Amino acid sequence: MISIHDDTCPSFEGTLELIGRRWTGSVVQAAGQGARRFGEYRTMIEGISDRLLSQRLKELEAAGLIDRTVVPSTPVQILYQLTPDGQALVDALLPLAQWSQRRSGYRGGSRLPAA
């Protein structure tokens, strides 16, 4: 069994640093929900700037998590899609997202009353 305390830890930490960057989780989530074109990402991720979205897509492409495809048409289309590793990351993050949802009512160790 792999542990975060063995030699794979630097790899795990690198993954946490990548996915923990501002907006990166949102970009991965949008890709997992079917975003393919730049405008679709921008619509799905409220508040992200074009510059930062472009930067995050490039980082995820460099990490092998998103494929970028240029469609030679008029105008040229750029499509982004999760790679198999990117989809595996989305699948791996799902339990964390579910855990976060369950914890959303907690503040300072006590559960807030239901509204």
Instruction: Give the span between the Cα atoms of 25 and 11, in whole angstroms.
Output: 18
CB atoms within 10 A of CB 95: 9
The verdict on pTM exceeding 0.85 is no
Across the chain, the runs of DSSP E, i.e. the strands, are 66-71, 77-82, 106-107, 110-111
Tens-place pLDDT, residues 15-31: 888 888 899 999 999 99
Name all domains of the chain by residue range, CATH numbers in brackets: 9-92 (1.10.10.10)
CB atoms within 10 A of CB 31: 25
Tens-place pLDDT, residues 29-52: 999 999 999 999 999 999 999 999
Tens-place pLDDT, residues 47-95: 999 999 999 999 999 999 999 999 999 999 999 999 999 999 999 999 9
